[in-house]
Amino acid sequence: MTRREALRLIGTGVGVATLTPPLPAQTTPNAPTGATPLLTRPIPSSGERLPVIGMGTWQTFDVGPAPAERAPLEAVLAAFAAGGGRVVDSSPMYGRSEDVAGELMEKQGLRPKLFVATKVWTAGRAQGIAQMRESMRKLRAQPVDLMQVHNLVDVDTHLATLRDWKQQGLVRFLGITHYTAGSHEAVARLVASQALDFIQINYSVGEREAEQRLLPLALERGVAVIINRPFAGGELLRRLRSKALPSWAAEIGGTSWAQLLLKFVISHPAVTCAIPATSRPEHMVDNLGAGRGPLPDTALRARIAAEAV
């Protein structure tokens, strides 16, 4: 199915399961023996496939050097890699997260197996270059897989630098990010006018504005989409904490509300990867479970949304 055909089907209301191409699963070297591989989707600009569940580091990896603070995160990262995860996303905005993630990846020898993404979040060409080099140093990642202009700060300046860096092999992919629906129009203008590999935006059962224009546009333009805030900043999980999981969740292999919410997100055909953050290894294992088994069709997406909001 071409992207144009997918967009036409979206417009006619055909179920998401129908318009989403099959997601061939790929086994990673770290996948547990006998585990169902994570579903993957391709980066449109290269064809490289990424697992549909990644890992964010906002707040969770911003910790000090004490072993008691680092040990849970080391377990989270180990569980992520062992379960077939690859995309690790950070930012200089996230305090010590880049340094902590880089140190733990290096300690576990995981850097070659992961897809490391971070951001530039400052104004000015020289300042941007200095910040990006520092991020790469902290993450022990040169080249870095994906460098993104965070919240569109001085976006034209940094995209020009990143295009040069991509040609030089300092970054593999470039993109832009934002976390609020109010900035979707600005993101959409850049998607329509610039050659981008990735965008990173907010999308969840509770924040569905991206469905209106931005996700269809990314699909049409061949831009990979990373989803932040798949739990609406945790608000959805807090709301559902005391609510029983519906019996129909078993139809798509869902065993928790977190999995249903993530399956809703990754079932959209424009979405490449969602990046929930956690500091608990058992939650990481649960999140990864959303990337296995069937995805909801239009009817099940509607039931998830009705139950969750």
Closest C-alpha to 73, from 56, 87, 92: 56
> What separation, in Å, do the N-terminal and C-terminal C-alpha atoms of the chain show?
32
pLDDT given for residue 70 in this prediction: 95
Instruction: Give mean pLDDT, residues 15-37.
Output: 45
**Percent of the chain residues topping a pLDDT of 70:** 89
CA distances from 18 to 21, 180, 292, 299 (A): 8, 29, 18, 11
The CATH superfamily of 49-234+268-293 is: NADP-dependent oxidoreductase domain (3.20.20.100)
Question: 53 has which bridge partners?
Answer: 274
Bond into 143 cis (ω within 30): yes
Residue 98 has a pLDDT of: 97
Output the average pLDDT for the chain: 90
User: What is the pLDDT at residue 36?
Assistant: 87
Q: What is the 8-class DSSP label of residue 132? A: H
* Least confident among 31-45, 111-125, 191-205, 262-276: 31-45
pTM of the predicted model, to two decimals?
Answer: 0.90
> Residue 51's pLDDT is what?
98
Q: Quick one: CA torsion of 57, 62, 64, 67, rounded to 10 degrees?
A: -30
**Mean pLDDT calculated for residue range 44-58:** 97
pLDDT at 297: 97
Confidence at residue 275, expressed as pLDDT on a 0 to 100 scale: 98
Q: Is the pLDDT of residue 32 over 60?
A: no
DSSP code of 296?
A: -
Summarised one tens digit per residue, pLDDT across range 223-280 is 999 999 999 999 999 999 999 999 999 999 999 999 999 999 999 999 999 999 999 9
Q: In this predicted structure, what is the pLDDT of residue 195?
A: 96
The tens digit of pLDDT for each residue in 122-134 reads 999 999 999 999 9
In the chain, at which residue ranges do the beta strands (DSSP E only) sit?
40-42, 49-51, 55-56, 87-89, 115-120, 144-149, 171-177, 198-202, 224-228, 273-274
pLDDT category, 34, cuts 50, 70, 90? low
116 with 145: CB under 8 angstroms? yes
Q: Percentage of the chain surpassing pLDDT 90?
A: 87
For the chain, what are the domain ranges?
A: 49-234+268-293
Q: In angstroms, rounded to a whole number, what is the distance separating the alpha carbons of residues 118 and 170? A: 13
pLDDT interval class at 23 (50, 70, 90): very low
